[in-house]
Amino acid sequence: MAQPEVVSIGALLVEIMRKEVDSPLDKPDDFVGPFPSGAPAIFADQVARLGHSVGFIGAVGADDFGKCILDRLKADGVDTSRVAEVEGIATGVAFVTYFADGSRKFIFHMGNSAAGQLPMPDAEYFAGARWLHIAGSSLAAGGRLREACYEAARLAHEAGVQVSFDPNLRPELLGGEEALRGICAPVLEVATLVLPSGEEAEILTGAQGADAACQALLAGGVRYVGLKRGAAGCTVFTAEETIPVPGFEVAAVDPTGAGDCFDAGFVVGLAEALPLYEVGRLANACGALGATKKGPMEGAALREDVESFISSSQ
């Protein structure tokens, strides 16, 4: 594959989940999986399924869980030439259970996994790219994974590649809001697009209220903000206009990964120079469909299915 149009970088892992709702992880019960996962990988898979060339920078163990991830990405057309297969270190794993109130609980086996052994980005890989996507969950991992994301952001910016950023960070795990802002700063400084929830936008800026926080992101140099509003859809912010875009009603089966599918739809919409309202519609549709199947990457829909879903919902 030639240098891809979109590049994603970060943690690769498999997810193993409880079969039944309200089954706590501290008791024996059945699991189902493994499912390919990792926020930046879900994003990349959805971009590929929407018909755009995309490459991934990351690492897996030289084991069956790594093969599970790579087989899925390759089957959907993601370029994995920059994914290292590391001997002697296992692929990352997340165990998850869901509760009837909509909450989730995770146990991550990531600290000593292969995810942090990814190759450092090189300028050559960005030569034909238009977008780089970074997920905050990879910044949260620290170490080489965080440094590789920072280096990718620097190289992309120098090459004129636009950077999209989904903060997706939990301040309580990273030393509070001030520490979180410091972790995000090297990416935010070069970001063209930020894709936060309202709470995340407030944390990133210190502003009160989601709309004010999104305006603060724009004032800081971001060109587009795609504010995620869950079932209500999203709002697209630019310096010139604010565009609310209604969501789609679906029966949610597994919300994990839906936000990453949303991110992919948004980036693809901008790459195709769609009107901003249509960018939001495409992102909302991808996000909604992303929640309709068990497994974080399983809801990533093909372009024709996304377009059919949008048409049938009008």
The pLDDT assigned to 294 comes to 84
Proportion of the chain above pLDDT 90, given as a percent: 66
Alpha carbons 144 and 117: distance in angstroms, whole number: 7
Alpha carbons 282 and 284: distance in angstroms, whole number: 6
Alpha carbons 94 and 310: distance in angstroms, whole number: 32
In the 8-state DSSP scheme, what is residue 87? T
Q: Which DSSP string do the residues of 235-257 spell out, in sequence order? A: EEE-SS-EEEE-------S--TT
Q: Pick the catalytic residue: 45, 76, 260, 263?
A: 260
The domain locations on the chain are: 6-299
Give the confidence band of 174 by pLDDT, cuts at 50, 70, 90: low
261-282 residue pLDDT tens: 999 999 999 999 999 999 999 9
CATH number of 6-299: 3.40.1190.20
> Could you tell me how far CA 40 lies from the centroid of its own chain?
4
pLDDT at 236 over 80: yes
Give the three-class secondary structure for 1: coil
Please give the angle made by the CA atoms of 308, 309 and 310, to the nearest 5 degrees: 90
**29 a catalytic residue:** no
pTM for the whole thing? 0.93
Name the strand (E) or helix (H) holding 33: strand 31-37
Going from the C-alpha of 251 to that of each of 104, 228, 294, the distances in angstroms are 17, 18, 12
Write out the two tokens for 6.
């979109």
